[in-house]
Structure 1
Amino acid sequence: MTTGRRRLLGAIGGAVGLAAAGTAVGLLRQQRSVGRDAGDEVAFGTLRSSPITVVADDGLPLHVEVDEVEEDDQPRRRRGQGRGPAVTVVFAHGYCLNLDSWHFQRAAYRGLVRTVYYDQRSHGRSGRSEREHATIDQLGHDLRAVIEQVVPDGPVVLVGHSMGGMTVCALAEHYPELIGDKVIGVALLSTTAGGLDVSRILLPLLPARLTNRATHRAVATLAVGHGAVDQVRRVGRFIANVATSRFAFGGDVPPSYVSFVDDMLAATPFEVVADFFPSFSGLDKFDHVEVLDQVPVSVICGTADKLTSVGHSRKLHARIPSSRLLECEGAGHMVPLERHDQVNAELDQLITAATTRAGAR
């Protein structure tokens, strides 16, 4: 058989296998009457579990929450007989957000798949980082600490949105030995491994009258008076709300979505914004993402993303040849919220494909 024919048959077999595997999590959800759009009837920010503190390598406390599989599934899972995948899915959120940003994913997988959510350093309920440790590379080390301390046993699927996706890329660079061994699947949402236009990042974070100062010099200047900037942001919440709607979403969404995102942005002190800002301009990890090709990878982005444009996702897809690329037509940067049904459907397939492949090894 020729090499070309083998590749063609392998591609066809992989596609058929993925299509079949993708039904497993979905079927389990249907049996529990949990839809992909679960969360519509649950107030934002109310999904909680007992907090766990993970200590990063520099001593910083990270706030972590784990949703365990329901008790009646545990015996079957231990014997390998459960219909749900025996895997832990770890979610890493984006810049100036917090773990609540995964609202619809958390609602969909709660009780069905073991899931881990954590606040990145200086975000949400996690400790405030020293400025020298407010880097993408450090976030990669933090993710490793979360995996080691919360998922000591069993495989992991990583899901990263925006800065969370960059976090996964940093993990792949510094700990490539985890890919294909501990890490059996990856989803990269609305993210990049480099070449980011950093001026775009500030657009939904400041009132409109300040957005034209989105330069490193301006950020450094604003950081010195971060308290005053925070006050201006609070006074200008209406303007900021309009900016959030325009830059975080691609189309019309319920006002509650906009307010939810704006509340997370507003809760992030501008000093934190300034601390992490320099990391984005120097980000260049495209040469390190190819290691992810050892496992199933889903790259997801909205075609109307104004912060990390769809071109970044297409480049990631090209650098990870066997990855799947889902382009959500007309969606913006907050695709996990705006198109949560599409995102959850893709995650269903990813989780099941990853566990199926891992089980066949």
Structure 2
Amino acid sequence: MAGGVLGVGIGIVAAAAAAAAGVGAERLVRARQTAIDLGVEDDFVDIPDHEAAVISDAVPLHVEIDDPSPGSPTRQPTVVLSHGYTQHHGVWHYQRKALRDAGFRVVLWDHRGHGQSEIGDPASYTIEQLGRDLHEVIGQIVPKGPLILIGHSMGGMAIMALAEQFPEVVSERVVGAGFICTSSGALSTVDFGLGKQIGAAVHRLGPGTVSRLSTRQKLVDTALRAGRDVEDFLVHRYSFGSDVPMAVVRYTADMIFQTPMSVISAFMPTLLAHERTDGLAAFDGIETLVMHGQQDRIVPRKHADDMVARMPHSEYIVVEASGHMLPLEHPEIVNTEVVALAERSCRAVDSGKRRARGVPRNVTDLRAGGRSRRTTKRAAAK
């Protein structure tokens, strides 16, 4: 999920709610000025070593494969990265390079209706189907050998759905699992940092608003071109918890708003109905990482706390001054932790022992005078 009712819808409805509360356009522009001032150019183009189309339920899914970087040690597990709602594989721009350089083969894929994957039947836009799609990607691209599965937001839910429907894949092949800014359920109670009243209005109005807009894609495209200032403000507010370069805001906004409204609308009910907390037991005994942004408005930190309560063996990282788009907002922290997860998983493969109980931690990112100051402390999960 990214900056909306679980993507775009919250931005549309929150803008209306803000206007009703007397928040003028000039305030929106002032609020996004910091991100604009930080504006820098960045190159988010990645060239994979291999590309493939995996057919799942008659839908071609776009897959990219990166080989380990030349000169790096070759590690046995393959890392499969799954992105979130209204995003595509590009959300892993920084992590794919870090994993390649650490010697891992990396597989990335676009969910149906997202990125370069094809559109499917609207009835197929469910978390259950994403679990089956992930199973097809694994079966066709990585048919043998140990796996490390890492998912951001809806990508983490797809991993849970895989475990629910294909438990033998997790028990026999998965040696590491990473869940970043995701949830195992109860998303229908989230107020998106708007308070109970406006949060309830978003839930009540958002799905219907997005559903109506799904039939008027040209109107949406025209409105977005005319209202880039508001678009950037909403993405910055709901996707991030700190000041980030404008290039990152724009890259995130492009991912979100390039997703067809029909796809955004069709996926919304399955996200709100998602409930797989009991299924987290499937990851018991597997090297597991849970990461979350302290200021995540889309999926509040409590969702990560609840997941860790069911997976007490997890390494738990909470990043302060960070929102929902953690892989793009603080890539150096995420890079460090996903590579550490992959390396722990390698040691588990080599030793034949799958379990290693992680100690929950908070990783704090403090910004002062334009510089980053990072401290790490060990703490019990809240």
Counterpart residue type for residue 318 of structure 2: E
Match for 2:84 among 72, 77, 94?
94
Counterpart CA distance in 1 for 2:190 and 2:126 is 18
Q: Cα gap change, 1:292/1:241 in structure 2, threshold over 3 Å: closer, same or farther?
A: same
CA contact (8 A) 2:188 2:203 kept: no
CA contact (8 A) 1:180 1:294 kept: no
Shift of 1:273: 0.6
Shift of 1:59: 1.3
CA contact (8 A) 2:54 2:137 kept: yes
**Larger strand share, 1 or 2:** 2
Matched, 1:109 2:99: yes
Counterpart CA distance in 2 for 1:270 and 1:72 is 44
Shift of 1:181: 1.5
Counterpart CA distance in 2 for 1:172 and 1:93 is 17
TM-score (norm 1): 0.79
Q: Cα gap change, 1:238/1:291 in structure 2, threshold over 3 Å: closer, same or farther?
A: same
Match of 1:182 in 2: 173
Matched residue pairs, number?
305
Q: Extract unaligned runs of 5+ from structure 1.
A: 1-39, 74-82, 204-209
Match for 1:285 among 267, 276, 280?
276
Shift of 1:338: 1.0
CA deviations on 1:196-227 (whole Å, 9 max, x unpaired) are 148768x9xxxxxx979743333333323343
Shift of 1:71: 5.8
**3-state secondary structure, aligned to 1:116:** strand
**3-state secondary structure, aligned to 1:117:** strand
Counterpart CA distance in 2 for 1:260 and 1:252 is 15
Match for 2:304 among 288, 303, 313?
313
CA deviations on 1:271-301 (whole Å, 9 max, x unpaired) are 1110111111111111111111120110000
Match of 2:245 in 1: 254
What's the Cα RMSD here?
2.2
Counterpart residue type for residue 252 of structure 1: D
Counterpart CA distance in 1 for 2:117 and 2:152 is 18
Counterpart CA distance in 1 for 2:238 and 2:291 is 17
Matched, 1:60 2:59: yes
Q: Cα gap change, 1:214/1:116 in structure 2, threshold over 3 Å: closer, same or farther?
A: farther
Identity %: 35
Match of 1:222 in 2: 213
Shift of 1:348: 1.8
Shift of 1:41: 9.7
Q: Cα gap change, 1:214/1:97 in structure 2, threshold over 3 Å: closer, same or farther?
A: farther
Match for 1:139 among 130, 146, 150?
130
**Larger helix share, 1 or 2:** 1
Q: Cα gap change, 1:42/1:107 in structure 2, threshold over 3 Å: closer, same or farther?
A: farther
Match for 1:355 among 346, 356, 364?
346
Shift of 1:254: 1.0
CA deviations on 1:210-247 (whole Å, 9 max, x unpaired) are 97974333333332334323332332222111111111
Counterpart CA distance in 2 for 1:64 and 1:101 is 14
**3-state secondary structure, aligned to 2:259:** coil
Match of 2:313 in 1: 322
Q: Cα gap change, 1:42/1:88 in structure 2, threshold over 3 Å: closer, same or farther?
A: farther
CA contact (8 A) 2:283 2:311 kept: yes
CA contact (8 A) 1:90 1:158 kept: yes
**3-state secondary structure, aligned to 2:284:** helix
Q: Cα gap change, 1:234/1:185 in structure 2, threshold over 3 Å: closer, same or farther?
A: same
Shift of 1:189: 0.2
Match of 1:236 in 2: 227
**3-state secondary structure, aligned to 1:64:** strand
Counterpart residue type for residue 118 of structure 1: W
Counterpart CA distance in 1 for 2:260 and 2:190 is 18
Shift of 1:42: 6.5
Match of 2:68 in 1: 69
Structure 1 residue ranges, 4+ long, deviating more than 6 angstroms after superposition: 198-201, 210-213
Counterpart residue type for residue 278 of structure 1: P
Counterpart CA distance in 2 for 1:71 and 1:200 is 47
**3-state secondary structure, aligned to 1:294:** coil
CA contact (8 A) 2:42 2:247 kept: no
Counterpart residue type for residue 190 of structure 1: C
**3-state secondary structure, aligned to 2:171:** coil
Counterpart CA distance in 2 for 1:222 and 1:267 is 14
CA contact (8 A) 2:190 2:298 kept: no
Counterpart CA distance in 2 for 1:299 and 1:199 is 19
Q: Cα gap change, 1:236/1:188 in structure 2, threshold over 3 Å: closer, same or farther?
A: same
